[in-house]
Amino acid sequence: MNLETWFLVIYFVAMAGIGVWTLKIGNKDSEGYLLGGRSLGPAVTALRLQSSSMSGYMFLGAGSLAYTKGYFSLWYAMGDIGGGVLNLSILGRRMRKLSQILGSLTSIEYLEHRYPSPWIRAIAAPVAVFCIFFYVMSQFIAGGRGLEMVTGIPYAWALLIAVGVIVFYTFLGGYLAVAYTDFVQAIIMLIGMVWILIGTLQAVGGWTAGNNAVGEINPNLLTMWGPEGIGSVQWGVIIGAVLVFSIGYMGWPHVNVSHMAMKRPSVARTASMYATGFNLLFIPAPYIVGIMALIILPNLDNPELAVFQVADTVLPNFAVGIVMAGIMAAIMSTADALLLQSGTIASQDLFQRFIKKDMSDSQSVWVSRFTVLILAIIGYIVAVNDPPAVAEVVIFSTTVLGAAFVPVYVAAAWWKKANVPGAISSMVLGTVSSVVWQLTGLVDATGVDPMGIGIVCSTLALILVSLATQKSHPVPAHVVAALKETDKIGAIPAHMLTGQNDALAAQVPKDA
């Protein structure tokens, strides 16, 4: 076994160890398993939010994009850097407080509590599970390929190991295990990425020398307009690129659940500083490494492996092991969050809500675990037999998630007139428009990103339908009261705390 493999083995054992360590808390009840008992501080909240947002895409897709498009690719990074603070500042405190008042345990359940109708969950849960399943499958594939490259183990076995470790600690400790492993993984990702960047810049003689060398290949690669120059710029794609990774995060259920698990609503404030600091250090690095790979590895067959191959070329053996652990960390931290979220949606938002309403806490946790296991097995079978392209699946599933859910999550916390018909039409139109735009080839024909179209459609639908149906479907008084309480800075009065129950759509506060 080579040195790199040893580092990965140590890393895998450490992650599994965290799963065992959090087992006790994760088993306590649904809130313990699904939200870590709402006990997370700013550092864990911020780094968990960031690492679960940044998947294997950062090491595969970002490097590939930079290798082929040059500095144009940094448009994606420009949106991404602000994604964390935007999410925390707009949703953080309000979603934490509102979810506590309404007694919500999952980010989909929260939507049904805010927009009280079973249709909300009946629409949101399948859309979320569908997108998240494909997203998590892409992470399995990325993990398997990364492990295969480092260790030389055949892809099928590498995939099985990667999936096995992720499932093991998600299965044991639930949200707390995912949050703490994500926290550790974020630090490993940062160390790994900064190390590759430093090694790369040293190898090319510094950033300026590297840029000069890239300019000799094609001066347009140094511009923000792409390799074909400013004449070929598609502004719709640029705006979409910035949107996907800035406001797009606010529609991702597996990311938004971070707000609900915060120890206190005010955690969002400090967490925003951690998030921005982490993003500034981490996000531009894989893009710059990808650009410099043009000099170090000018004849790369597969640009997706640019960051892997550069690390292998410029770093000493022991450092490659740590860096590879960082790459696996990026993949696994997203995969575990997605897996837990899809298990949660299936157990809480579908099974318990529509099939077996009198499930105990313990049964609910076990259904969630069983779902995690089933999804992992299906994901493994698909990924090992007919693996699709990682970047395409990631961009497609995250675009649909963003288009479907950003307006309903933002309006849930901020707009008292946002009602059930508005939310339903927003989710449906956001999903349909982004999927149709993507699948019918309208992106190439119009130069407009599906995320942009999806967000515009879902936002307009929410506003127009909500306003048009205010009289026939007014926002319930207890929801308005909860929103007014959320506006205030102060403790939630005891009478406002609504208990969770099987008739979730009908719940009202005690004094209503």
Partner 1 sequence: MFGLPTATVAVIFGIPAIWVIYTLVFVYLSRGWKAEDVAEDQELISRNASGGNRPNGPATSANQDRRSGTENGGLA
Among 27, 117, 223, 234, interactor with partner 1 by CB under 8 A? 223
> Least distance to partner 1 from the beta carbon of 329, Å?
23
464 binds partner 1 (CB under 8 A): no
Among 264, 373, 382, 447, interactor with partner 1 by CB under 8 A? 264
99 binds partner 1 (CB under 8 A): yes
Complex with partner 1: residue 203 or 492, whichever CB lies closer: 492
- Separation of CA 378 from chain center: 21
Alpha helices in 70-117 (DSSP H): 74-87, 93-102, 107-114
DSSP state of 469: T
> Least distance to partner 1 from the beta carbon of 172, Å?
20
Please name which of 202, 208, 213 lies closest in space to residue 319, comparing C-alpha atoms: 202
Among 9, 14, 21, 39, interactor with partner 1 by CB under 8 A? 39
Among 176, 197, 412, 504, interactor with partner 1 by CB under 8 A? 504
Q: Which helix (H) or strand (E) holds 16?
A: helix 3-21
Contact 451, 244 (CB under 8 A): yes
- What values do phi and psi take at 39, rounded to 5? -125, 10
> Least distance to partner 1 from the beta carbon of 504, Å?
7
Number of H helices, E strands in the chain: 23, 0
Q: Is 333 exposed, middle or buried (0-12, 13-18, 19+ CB in 10 A)?
A: buried
285 binds partner 1 (CB under 8 A): no
Contact 113, 103 (CB under 8 A): yes
CA gap 276, 287 in Å, rounded: 18
29 binds partner 1 (CB under 8 A): yes
> Least distance to partner 1 from the beta carbon of 49, Å?
14
Strand partners, 262: 40
234 binds partner 1 (CB under 8 A): no
CA gap 486, 491 in Å, rounded: 10
Complex with partner 1: residue 446 or 501, whichever CB lies closer: 501
Contact 458, 452 (CB under 8 A): no
Among 19, 26, 56, 82, interactor with partner 1 by CB under 8 A? 82
Among 45, 100, 138, 458, interactor with partner 1 by CB under 8 A? 100
497 binds partner 1 (CB under 8 A): yes
**Sign of the four-CA dihedral 472, 473, 474, 476:** positive
480 binds partner 1 (CB under 8 A): no
> What is the maximum alpha-carbon separation in the chain?
72
Contact 137, 383 (CB under 8 A): yes
Among 8, 15, 46, 85, interactor with partner 1 by CB under 8 A? 85
**Sign of the four-CA dihedral 11, 17, 21, 23:** positive
Q: For partner 1, what does the binding mask look like between residues 334 and 373, x meaning CB under 8 A?
A: ---------------------------x------------
Among 23, 187, 191, 269, interactor with partner 1 by CB under 8 A? 269
Contacts of 165 by beta carbon, 8 Å cutoff, 6+ apart: 12, 15, 16, 332
71 binds partner 1 (CB under 8 A): yes
Complex with partner 1: residue 416 or 495, whichever CB lies closer: 495
> What are 191's two structure tokens?
């160390």
> Least distance to partner 1 from the beta carbon of 87, Å?
11
Contact 136, 335 (CB under 8 A): yes
Q: For partner 1, what does the binding mask look like between residues 289 and 328, x meaning CB under 8 A?
A: ----------------------------------------
1 binds partner 1 (CB under 8 A): no
SS3 262: strand
What is the total count of residues that contact partner 1 (CB under 8 A)?
64
**Sign of the four-CA dihedral 341, 342, 347, 353:** positive
**Interactions with partner 1, residue window 189-218 (CB under 8 A):** 207-212, 215
Complex with partner 1: residue 241 or 418, whichever CB lies closer: 241
503 binds partner 1 (CB under 8 A): yes
494 binds partner 1 (CB under 8 A): yes
CA gap 405, 407 in Å, rounded: 6
- State the residues that interact with partner 1 by CB under 8 A: 29-31, 37-39, 71, 74-75, 78, 81-82, 85-86, 89, 93, 99-100, 103-105, 207-212, 215, 222-224, 262-266, 268-269, 272-273, 276, 279-280, 284, 361, 489-494, 497-501, 503-504, 506-510, 512
